[in-house]
Structure 1
Amino acid sequence: MKSRQNGFTLVEIAVVLVIVGLLLGGVLKGQELIDSAKVKNLAQDFRTTQMLIHAYQDKFRALPGDDRRAVAHLCPSGVSDCTTAGNGDGVLGGNWDDDDGSEAARFWQQVRLANLASGPVDTGDAAYIPRNAAGGRIGIQRGGSGAPLGLTGSHVICSA
């Protein structure tokens, strides 16, 4: 009489462990690729914001948000309230995440009115402050007293 043994053989357990290991490795590598893509997209958001500054300066010889002639540059003929002019001191007043009428908040309105970026120009719109690749907000403000090499008029692109 032969005895029947119940359970799994060592080979069967080894095969299952190999399959689980391969699946786990694939999932982790996939997550790494997703995270890498997010980082690249965030860096692109920052480069795009720099490009908007340079394009606006090339077009109007002023800093968007701080442009003292913004109404003349951006508002259609006969319309004087499409934006508010800045003081033209070369510095963006306000914080990067302001929703009010600060120069930092008007930055987005003025680059959009100049047709350099898409998005709503109404500062009261929920989508007015743009979102970064990770879904957080992105903005710009003046560099603090600890600006690199003491550059005056330097600006910092921020994201949360």
Structure 2
Amino acid sequence: MKIRKMQKGFTLIEMSIVLVIVGLIIGGILAGEDILENSKRISIVSQLQKYKSAYESFKEKYYSPPGDMSDAESAWGASKTNNGDGDGLITSSGSEDYLAWQHLALAGFINGYYSGALTAITNVNIGVDIPEAPYTKTGYRMIRDEAKILFKTNSVQFGRYRSGSDMDNGALTPKQALNIDEKIDDRNPSEGQLITISGYDIHHTRCVIAGDAGDEDDTYAVSIKTRDCILIYYLDQTQQ
């Protein structure tokens, strides 16, 4: 009597089923990553709008921008905060760019508690000195940087941590920045309430492609896949 040898391996049908399952798993992972990525961008939009609203409410109540308020110690006590110089600009002088978050929190316009200064001597402590953002080592700085011409008003800067810096490393790819811009502004990286610039030591063309007609014709360099871009969200109206 002949004894059949046990067949080894998968049949074509079994292999097809395995491939379908693997494809579904990979597709599910990729879909999950897309959902997570989109939620981060939506969170940035929401946070920028929240901080703008808090800034406007603070100015309406105290007749001064947060951080720049010259009588903050009278309002909350010298043991809790420091005064700004009252010139209407949130600058790095006197740590106004860090006092801004502390003043907003003390006034109840944002949640949390902020140090009002650099707690690590030369390095910013995200979540302690400034609010944390969704991407790794990213956060928000409130500033009117007169050394940089694009900071036309008091602004919220979204960037990534760099040792010894003011959050000036690129935090987003141009495509991510465009996605945020079209949700909150006009899709133009160089005009409107939200503008985009390159991070520290990065050529500007890695974020923005200059048009032939000036700023109004600029576009995002969406073919660039690295996180080279910083966002600047104007808190006051600008003259374009």
TM-score greater than 0.5 by the shorter chain: yes
Aligned to 2:12: 10
d(CA) in 2 for partners of 1:154 and 1:82? 24
Pair 1:112-2:83 in alignment: no
Distance in 2 between residues matched to 1:141 and 1:7, nearest whole Å: 66
Give 1:75-154 correspondences, 5 Å limit: 75=76, 79-94=77-92, 101-123=94-116, 124=119, 127-134=128-135, 136-143=138-145, 144-147=148-151, 151=152, 153-154=153-154
Query: Which SS does the other structure have where 2:67 is aligned?
Result: coil
1:3–1:105: structure 2 CA closer, same or farther, 3 Å change rule?
A: same
Q: 1:98 — aligned with what?
A: none
CA distance 1:80–1:14, shift in 2 (3 Å): closer
The Cα of 1:21 is off from its aligned counterpart by 0.7
Q: Take 1:13 and 1:26, find their aligned partners in 2: how far apart are those partners?
A: 20
Residue ranges of structure 1 left out of the alignment (5+ in a row): 96-100
Q: 1:15 to 1:81 in 2, by over 3 A?
A: closer
Q: 1:133 to 1:71 in 2, by over 3 A?
A: same
TM-score by length of 2: 0.54
Determine whether 1:157 maps to 2:154: no
- The letter for the 2-side match of 1:86 is G
Give the structure with higher Rg (CA): 1
Corresponding pairs, count: 147
Contact 2:144 2:155 in 1 (8 A): yes
Structure having the larger proportion of residues in helix: 1
Distance, in Å, in 2 between the alignment partners of 1:53 and 1:87 is: 17
TM-score of the two chains, using structure 1 as the length reference: 0.78
SS at match of 2:112: coil
CA RMSD of aligned residues (A): 2.4
The percentage of aligned residue pairs carrying the same residue is 27
User: 1:128 Cα deviation (Å)?
Assistant: 3.6
- Residue 159 of structure 1 aligns to which amino acid in structure 2? G
8 Å contact from structure 2 (residues 142, 154) kept in 1:
no
Instruction: Report runs of 4+ in structure 1 exceeding 4 Å deviation.
Output: none
Which runs of 5 or more structure 2 residues have no equivalent in the other structure?
161-240
Alpha-carbon displacement from aligned partner over 1:34-58 (angstroms, at most 9, x marks no partner): 1111111122121121111111011
> Once the 2 structures are TM-superposed, how far is the Cα of residue 69 of structure 1 from its aligned partner?
2.6
